[in-house]
């Protein structure tokens, strides 16, 4: 790894983070909030910008990024940006320990949405806006943003794009990586703007509309209310959010094509169909199970369907908004939610999880093995869309899934001594690695992660990064080969 | 780079069909020039290789398959360059591209029957330019045979100016002197020194640059002046009297056709009877011999000659290399072979087995780049061993260079003005030459100087 080139890009990244924090500080100041609130943001912003400037000067005239450097930029960049972004939470007294503040920020940037803050209404608006912004920049990828707005030489930008973009295939919508990054961020911002206006039209306040638009398109799930979306108590708001959460869970290059007038790829995409099919199936099944459990209490069908649909969309796209306490759901319905947490959204979306495409390929590969067991001479291809997948790609995808599950298992084992019960340990790991947000039991939808010990928060912070950056980028820095010159 | 001299030209979206050696080289050039590049190839490994080194998009599939072309967003391309090793694929890709509204298309072909056809108008079909790879190699070889001893040769300004690279030897009259010492020589008014390559360094020569043994010097001028200058500076390189071409394939035949314009005696050896008949029918004063070029009797039958050059252009690399070794034994002063395999090129160069390898790609790449940059920059050439580029620019009226003498211009470091073409007449770019609007000016630019030149000509 070449430190100079790596930290030169990170200097730019910190500058972006510092500038955004400064903006939030300004909002806080203009809202006439107490000095402690805006000073925490302004101070962190100034410190981050100063650090960025020093780093930039120290690393002038860097070399072109190699592939390894790209991984380094993304892994260390996310960590350092998370640290810089955590400062205001600690300074403003919102988070009790530095680890808790880092947990909150990384949870934001990885669009997980797990929180340690227990009373959101009491927090200054500037800080809540910064919290929503951490999700927004992390959603499409803050380094992809850097590539989009700064003139990085092509190859270096490509390494960053590869290391940060989720999904097994890194298809590009434009030949040049800088234009690809611009288009993706353009679509992202456009959809966020549309959502903002829709929420505003439904009577949501400007501040809430902005924050929720930012965290919905990022599939993040940070709300400005402790009760999350239930605070609005509006079927229309929930309906709009369901649609936009699903949109955010779909490959943004398909949205880009649709905006250019090509709708066919959108409809024909196997991942989209699978995602929407799973959503419909899970909603119907969930509604049935919930209704069965609540029939005695005489709960109406409509309310049950509304709760099931919103929860399924929120969990499947790894957003993590809640409208009800799904920890009270019957066990079978909870099991469905766990499966949805594993799957996540499509490749190239802002959603987390293993990704629909990989799950599809895994299912097909397993089916093939079973059929081959019965009929060894059969030649059965595994396809993704129309594309035939060779053994090499198949192996890569299957080993990703296996490694993902293995790391989860290790995480759960590590969390067991740090949590009150196994359900908490398991669900906290699944929800954090899948970048969902709330889990079950002690980290359920109505509770927070505040009660976990600092060590537990640190482990989950690492797992959130591992999940968001799709394993290898983070794991690479633990390899000796990575550090060689 | 070169494409941006007259105002900042908008970057193009270029679709390259075929990611082999030629395609990869072109992709690299286009990326450097800031174009949007998409490469289509059916070899996934080649694509993966490209993808890791260059900022471009790759699409896997057959380049003549409409669905693959759609996947590559063909309708958005401004230019299609088809350089797979199959003629039919290349031509089909161009035809499809035109049907989808692509502005310009180039296809590489290896059979001369396409370019020779008078009845099928490829331009009307949608192929703007057919680049025959053998024509390009043949021209390359022809240039070297014309100027014995040269490392490489490139034509500029509609073949009116040539750039030649030569090595400075122990007994060269240039040795130990600098250009200042030759101020009184008449040739200095006609020959322009472009670059001196010393080890890994490239310099743009000034009046006090001294020539050393082992330097590769590049100079430019009109063909006749170049020939006179070379007679003086490299008297040991006498012109060839006889050229033996082994292999009457497309390359050999084309080369023989070109050589018939010179005074050299030409012998073409072809093994296949039918092909030999065809060659003899096509050619006028070439002696066509049916036989095996590796057979001692065949060579002995031609008779020894003192100033003989031998060119091996059979379809087999191995045959060509061995053929050259045999010919050397029979007194050939110069041997050249067509070698396609990359692995061989390195080995042959290392062992110094022959004088020259015909690099199948470079000549064609030059030709394609000429065409692609055609709008503002009429010709550009890359020389294999010389970094940087020869660029041609047209002085627009009102440009700050127009009307000034070269010595009064503020030329960026690493740029040398080579010559100017005004009203069909070539003018060597001596310091007192005043440039005028409408001049076509050739300049050599080191890579580092390109941005400055760009700024200078986009202002």
Tell me the shortest Cα–Cα distance from A154 to chain B, in angstroms: 5
pLDDT tens profile A194-208: 999 999 999 999 999
Q: pLDDT at position A209, please?
A: 95
Q: By CA distance, what is B45's nearest residue in A?
A: A392
3-state class of A347 per DSSP? coil
Could you tell me the sign of the dihedral formed by the alpha carbons of B224, B230, B231, B236, in that order? Answer: negative
Beta-strand ranges (E) seen in A249-395 are 383-384, 387-388
Q: pLDDT at position A278, please?
A: 96
State whether residue B29 sits within 8 Å of chain A by CB.
Answer: no
Helix (H) or strand (E) holding B417: strand B415-422
The answer to whether the beta carbons of residues A137 and A42 sit under 8 Å apart is no
| CB interface of B with A, residues 44-63, below 8 Å | 44, 52-57
pLDDT value at A62 more than 80: no
Tell me the shortest Cα–Cα distance from A267 to chain B, in angstroms: 16
Helix (H) or strand (E) holding B337: strand B332-338
Q: pLDDT at position A76, please?
A: 92
Q: pLDDT at position A250, please?
A: 93
Dist. CA A362–CA A398, nearest whole Å = 6
CA B27 to chain CA mean position, Å:
17
Location of structure tokens 């007294």: A93
Q: pLDDT at position A201, please?
A: 95
Question: Which residues of chain A does B43 touch, with a Cβ-Cβ cutoff of 8 Å?
Answer: none
A380 DSSP 8-state letter: -
- Terminal alpha carbon distance of chain B: 15
Beta bridge partner(s), residue B289: B269
Residue with more model confidence, B375 or A93: A93
Q: pLDDT at position A186, please?
A: 93
Q: By CA distance, what is A393's nearest residue in B?
A: B44
Q: By CA distance, what is A173's nearest residue in B?
A: B57
Q: Do A172 and B57 touch (CB under 8 A)?
A: yes
Question: Which residues of chain B does A178 touch, with a Cβ-Cβ cutoff of 8 Å?
Answer: 55
As a whole number, mean pLDDT of residues B398-424 equals 83
Q: Do A155 and B37 touch (CB under 8 A)?
A: no
Supply the ipTM of this predicted assembly.
0.74
The answer to whether the beta carbons of residues A272 and A254 sit under 8 Å apart is yes
Indicate the pairing of strand A383-384 with strand A387-388. antiparallel
State whether residue B85 sits within 8 Å of chain A by CB.
Answer: no
Token pair for A293: 């459990």
Q: Do A155 and B38 touch (CB under 8 A)?
A: no
pLDDT value at A165 more than 90: no
Dist. CA B22–CA B85, nearest whole Å = 10
Of A67, A157, A175, the CB nearest to B57: A175
- How high is the mean pLDDT of chain A? 90
Q: Which pLDDT band holds residue B305 (cuts at 50, 70, 90)? A: low
Q: Which residues of A touch B (CB under 8 A)?
A: 67, 154-155, 157-158, 172, 174-179, 390
Mutate: best of B55, B57, B74, partner A, most A CBs <10 A: B55
Burial B292-327 (b: 16+ CB within 10 A, else e): bbbeeebbeebeebebbbbbbbbeebebbbbbbbbb
pLDDT tens profile A13-54: 999 999 999 999 999 999 888 888 889 999 999 999 999 999
Beta bridge partner(s), residue B195: B218
Long-range Cβ contacts of B449-453 (<8 Å, 24+ apart)? B449/B388, B449/B412, B449/B413, B449/B414, B449/B415, B450/B1, B450/B388, B450/B389, B452/B412, B452/B415, B453/B5, B453/B391, B453/B412, B453/B415
Q: Which pLDDT band holds residue B380 (cuts at 50, 70, 90)? A: low
Residues in chain B: 459
Residues in chain A: 485
Q: Which candidate, B412, B413, B390, B391, places its Cα nearest to that of B401?
A: B412
Token pair for B284: 């006028």
Beta-strand ranges (E) seen in A245-399 are 383-384, 387-388
Q: By CA distance, what is A171's nearest residue in B?
A: B57
pLDDT tens profile A422-471: 999 999 999 999 999 999 988 988 888 988 999 999 999 999 999 998 88
Percent of chain B with pLDDT over 90: 6
Q: pLDDT at position A192, please?
A: 96
């Amino acid at each position: 790894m070449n430190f100079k080139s790596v930290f030169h890009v990170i200097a730019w990244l910190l500058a972006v983070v510092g500038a955004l924090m400064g903006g939030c500080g300004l909002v806080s100041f203009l809202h006439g909030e107490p000095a402690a609130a805006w000073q925490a943001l302004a101070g962190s912003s100034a410190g981050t910008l100063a650090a960025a400037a020093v780093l930039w000067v120290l690393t002038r005239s860097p070399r072109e990024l190699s592939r390894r450097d790209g991984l380094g930029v993304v892994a260390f960049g996310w960590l350092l940006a998370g640290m810089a972004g955590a400062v205001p939470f600690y300074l403003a007294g919102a988070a009790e320990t530095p680890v808790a503040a880092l947990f909150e920020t990384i949870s934001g940037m990885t669009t997980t949405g797990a929180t340690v803050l227990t009373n959101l209404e009491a927090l200054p608006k500037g800080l809540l806006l910064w919290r929503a912004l951490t999700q927004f920049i992390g959603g499409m990828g803050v380094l992809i943003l850097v590539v989009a707005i700064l003139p990085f030489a092509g190859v270096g930008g490509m390494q960053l794009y590869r290391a940060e973009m989720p999904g097994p295939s890194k298809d590009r919508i434009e030949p040049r990586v800088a234009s690809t990054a611009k288009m993706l961020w353009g679509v992202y911002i456009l959809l966020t703007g549309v959502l903002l206006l829709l929420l505003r039209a439904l009577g949501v306040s400007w501040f809430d509309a902005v924050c929720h638009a930012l965290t919905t398109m990022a599939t993040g799930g940070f709300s400005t209310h402790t009760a999350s979306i239930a605070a609005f108590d509006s079927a229309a708001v929930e309906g709009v959010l369901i649609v936009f959460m699903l949109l955010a869970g779909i490959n943004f290059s398909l949205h880009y094509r649709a905006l250019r007038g090509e709708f066919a790829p959108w409809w024909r995409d196997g991942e989209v169909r699978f995602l929407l099919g799973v959503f419909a199936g899970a909603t119907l099944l969930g509604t049935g199970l919930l209704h069965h459990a609540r029939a005695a209490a005489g709960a109406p069908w409509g309310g049950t369907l509304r709760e099931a649909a919103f929860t399924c969309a929120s969990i499947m796209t790894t957003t993590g908004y809640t409208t009800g306490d799904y920890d009270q759901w019957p066990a079978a319905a909870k099991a469905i939610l766990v499966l949805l947490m594993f799957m996540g959204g499509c490749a190239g979306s802002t959603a987390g999880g293993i990704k629909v495409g990989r799950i599809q390929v895994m299912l097909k590969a397993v089916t093939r093995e079973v059929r081959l067991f019965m009929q060894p001479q059969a030649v059965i291809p595994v396809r993704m869309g129309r594309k035939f997948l060779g053994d090499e790609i198949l192996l890569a995808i299957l080993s990703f899934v296996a490694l993902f599950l293995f790391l989860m298992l290790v995480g759960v084992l590590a969390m067991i001594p740090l949590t009150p019960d196994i359900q908490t340990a398991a669900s906290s790991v699944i929800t954090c690695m899948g970048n969902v947000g709330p889990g079950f039991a002690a980290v359920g939808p109505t509770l927070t992660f505040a009660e976990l010990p600092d060590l537990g928060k640190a482990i989950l912070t690492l797992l959130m990064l591992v999940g968001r950056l799709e394993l290898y980028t983070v794991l690479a820095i633990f390899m000796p080969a990575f550090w060689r010159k | 780079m070169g494409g941006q001299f007259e105002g900042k030209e908008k970057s193009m979206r270029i679709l390259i069909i075929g990611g082999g050696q030629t395609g990869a080289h072109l992709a690299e050039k286009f990326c450097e020039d800031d174009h949007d590049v998409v490469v289509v190839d059916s070899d996934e490994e080649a694509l993966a290789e490209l993808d890791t080194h260059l900022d471009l998009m790759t699409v896997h599939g057959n380049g003549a398959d409409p669905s693959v072309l759609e996947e590559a967003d063909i309708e958005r391309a401004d230019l299609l360059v088809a350089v797979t090793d199959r003629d039919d694929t290349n031509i089909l890709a161009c035809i499809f591209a035109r049907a989808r509204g692509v502005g310009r298309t180039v296809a590489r072909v290896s059979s001369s029957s396409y370019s020779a056809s008078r009845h099928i108008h490829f331009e009307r079909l949608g192929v703007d330019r057919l680049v025959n790879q053998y024509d390009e190699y043949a021209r390359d070889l022809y240039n070297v045979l014309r100027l014995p001893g040269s490392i490489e040769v490139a034509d500029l300004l509609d073949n009116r100016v040539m750039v030649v690279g030569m090595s400075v030897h122990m007994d060269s009259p240039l040795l130990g002197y600098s250009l200042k010492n030759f101020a009184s020589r008449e040739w200095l008014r006609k020959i322009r020194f472009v670059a001196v390559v010393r080890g890994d360094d490239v310099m743009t020569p000034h009046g006090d640059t001294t020539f050393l043994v082992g330097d590769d010097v590049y100079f430019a001028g009109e063909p006749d002046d170049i020939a006179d200058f070379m007679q003086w500076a490299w008297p040991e390189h006498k012109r060839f009297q006889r050229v033996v071409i082994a292999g009457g394939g497309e390359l050999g035949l084309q080369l023989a056709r070109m050589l018939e314009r010179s005074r050299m005696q030409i012998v073409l050896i072809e093994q296949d009877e039918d092909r030999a008949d065809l060659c003899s029918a096509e050619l006028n004063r070439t002696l066509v011999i049916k036989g095996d070029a590796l057979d001692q009797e065949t060579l002995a039958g031609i008779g020894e000659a003192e100033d003989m050059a031998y060119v091996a252009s059979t379809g087999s690399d191995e045959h060509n290399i061995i053929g050259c070794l045999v010919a050397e034994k029979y007194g050939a002063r110069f041997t050249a072979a067509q070698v396609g395999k990359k692995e061989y090129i390195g080995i042959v160069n290392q062992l110094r087995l022959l004088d020259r390898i015909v690099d199948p790609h470079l000549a064609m790449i030059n030709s394609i780049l000429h065409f692609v940059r055609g709008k503002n920059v009429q010709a550009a050439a890359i020389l294999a061993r010389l970094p940087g580029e020869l660029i041609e620019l047209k002085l627009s009226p009102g440009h700050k260079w127009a009307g000034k003498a070269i010595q009064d211009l503020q030329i960026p470091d690493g740029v040398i003005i080579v010559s100017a073409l005004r009203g069909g007449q070539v003018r060597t770019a001596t310091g007192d030459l005043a440039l005028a609007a409408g001049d076509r000016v050739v300049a050599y630019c080191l890579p580092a100087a390109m941005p400055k030149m760009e700024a200078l000509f986009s202002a």
